[in-house]
Amino acid sequence: MDQTNTLVITKTRCGALTQAILHEPSEQDLAKVLKTWLTDGAAPPLTKGQLDTLWTLAKSAGLDVGKLTAFINTTLGSTYETPRAMNSEEADQVIAALKVAGSAEQAG
């Protein structure tokens, strides 16, 4: 924000505000746009608890980061480069699949 109360947004992940120049920004200009963007229905991000569970299950299955990422991509049909790229719902699917795989390995 400069001395004339002009806000210039130079970097954002919110597409509606990319390169925005707002003169005397109001609640309508900024807060409502951000609230809409933050609540657009996207799945919540991966939690620390989910990440900890993933690593615990991966270690017990003998999976390193690369093999876990491959397992994630096979399970989800995705092309993630890291387990942290998943959202919370996807993490639950992968955790369930790891548990099934671990149970099958113990039974076999």
Residue 106 has pLDDT above 70, yes or no: no
Task: Give the pLDDT confidence score for residue 19 in this predicted structure.
Answer: 86
Place of tokens 């809409």: 36
Average pLDDT, the chain: 89
CA atoms of 10 and 93, how far apart (whole Å): 37
Q: Where are the domains of the chain?
A: 6-38, 48-107
CA–CA separation, 102 and 78 (whole Å):
21
Q: What residues form DSSP beta bridges with 6? A: 23
pLDDT in tens, 9-46: 998 888 888 888 888 888 777 888 888 888 877 778 88
Identify the pLDDT of residue 108. 58
Q: In the prediction, which pLDDT does 35 show? A: 84
Query: Which 3 state secondary structure label does DSSP give 36?
Result: helix
pLDDT confidence of residue 91: 96
* DSSP E strand boundaries for the chain: 6-8, 21-23
Q: Is residue 99 predicted with pLDDT exceeding 90?
A: yes
- Segment 61-92, tens digit of pLDDT: 999 999 999 999 999 999 999 999 999 999 99
Dist. CA 86–CA 81, nearest whole Å:
10
